[in-house]
Copies of this chain bind each other. A is one copy, B any other.
């Protein structure tokens, strides 16, 4: 079998494998949407391609579909009006999904990985179109949609493919086994990677590509068929994804229905129907705790990878760069209106204040420092919207509204007017002052632009609360600010105990809510917020099995 795509992409694969092992910097897809990188016409053409989908039927066929759905409205204030086949007959869908699996299995790891990376290349060619699609479904500002929804998502996908490649090829295709003895025994053995079955990918509203692609590509290149069930509010980025997957699969001679789109009306509850089907052996889910927990408990016929919600924490003990700390935190709170599973929420700091290069700062003064950083970052509406993006749904707005009554409003949320999209809902973050006694408030996730400054009896209590809150409720991220080595050490220890990644004294262009593919693990799987990590061995190893045969020679 020739594997032209594999040969074409071999260098990129090798580089991704090497970076995943060294954890050094690597990126295969430029994160800058600049015309100097992508050419003068790329941005305009991508936007036009996105706009051309509006009001149209997306040209995908879903086996067993019945009618269409059109469920997307841009958080920037307009209906997308794209229609998709409405998945209906699950028997038919799963039967057709499996049709091409044998040929896909028999093609082997090289062919599958080659096709996988070729898909990424084609998606990269449409990265501006995808960025627009992500922007107008998630509410991310354009540059973030380009980066997180495009370039970084491609890197996370390539990372997953690289891990899958390593895992599939750590066992040789054939081996000769010779047992010494009076009569030596010699056997030839053949080892074949076989898929688990149908993989279900359940997408989310806020990161339709970044959170779906790792699981999608890890399952696909290990030989499984993939049914993509997008969030009804963020279908287009995954419809484009499935379209590209099908295009490359068909060109390579495989069944295009190895990847299918299962769009639905929100009332259809399609994910829960699909998740417990015996054909479905792998599930990747990003979303809320209720359904994630349900999947873990009920989809016992499948291996379930979930990324749910948690309570992301900052412990502030002291700093020698108060201004830079406030600026860094302000950026993390503001980025995409705090609508990231990695955005910090709980800031524990001593009621008596923290020592800084600008003197002792009480919680109110820390809040004021962050507030001043907000003013600088978000004071100008036109600049603010490029960081904040839009509010993704009414739930965020209502939590923001309720936050003011939860404690002392240190910094109030401000309504921002989008210069280009006057109907967009844009809000700046609010900072609410609480005490350690307010655990009923701060021990659950308040998804959106709400951060709590929680006054504690001191850093010891801050660390204690950090540990207990994360152990009980999970977290995707944690960070600490301290000039004292012993405090940083205690936090490292607590982070190991609680099973959450720790960022220490971030002051510059690295933010706690961002993780770099090939180097930073996203999620740990070691606390209640997630059972999966992008990407480690556990994320790929269960997606296939090895079946051997042996014979005398």
Contacts and interface: CB of A to CB of B under 8 A. Distances in A.
A58 interface: no
Interface in A182-196: 183, 185, 187, 189-192, 194, 196
Nearest to A191: B23
Contact of A500 (B22, B300, B547): B547
Contacts of A421: none
A8 interface: no
Given A25-B177, A300-B300, A194 B536 contact: no
A67 interface: no
Given A21-B172, A537-B541, 15 more contacts: A25-B180, A177-B516, A183-B508, A185-B508, A189-B520, A194-B496, A501-B548, A501-B549, A505-B552, A506-B552, A510-B552, A524-B546, A526-B547, A536-B546, A538-B542
A191 B500 CA distance: 11
A506 to B, nearest CB: 7
B503 A550 contact: yes
Interface in A408-430: none
Given A22-B172, A508-B185, A521 B550 contact: no
Given A496-B192, A545-B499, A548-B521, A537 B504 contact: no
A294 to B, nearest CB: 10
A269 interface: no
Given A541-B537, A550-B504, A552-B505, A175 B496 contact: no
A545 B539 CA distance: 11
A296 interface: yes
A167 B533 CA distance: 15
B519 A546 contact: no
Contacts of A538: 541-542, 545
A24 interface: yes
A507 interface: yes
A171 interface: yes
A167 B541 CA distance: 11
A36 interface: no
A521 B496 contact: no
20 contacts: A21-B171, A21-B172, A23-B177, A23-B189, A24-B177, A24-B178, A179-B516, A495-B547, A500-B547, A501-B548, A501-B549, A502-B549, A504-B550, A521-B546, A524-B546, A526-B545, A533-B545, A536-B541, A538-B542, A538-B545
A170 B537 contact: yes
Contacts of A503: 549-551
Interface in A178-236: 178-180, 183, 185, 187, 189-192, 194, 196
A247 to B, nearest CB: 28
B542 A542 contact: yes
Interface in A511-553: 516, 519-521, 524-526, 533, 536-538, 541-542, 545-552
Given A24-B176, A507-B552, A552-B505, A545 B519 contact: no
A2 interface: no
Contact of A524 (B172, B525, B547): B547
Contact of A496 (B23, B105, B177): B105
A253 interface: no
B179 A499 contact: no
Contacts of A507: 552
Contacts of A510: 185, 187, 550, 552
Interface string A157-182: 00000000001001110011111100
A426 B519 CA distance: 60
A145 B183 CA distance: 23
A492 interface: yes
A509 interface: yes
A23 B194 contact: no
B550 A175 contact: no
A548 to B, nearest CB: 5
Contact of A549 (B176, B495, B526): B495
Contacts of A180: 25
The 8 A-B residue pairs with the shortest CB-CB distance, nearest first, are: A23-B175, A537-B541, A526-B545, A538-B541, A504-B551, A502-B549, A541-B541, A538-B542
Nearest to A189: B23
A41 interface: no
A482 to B, nearest CB: 11
A172 to B, nearest CB: 6
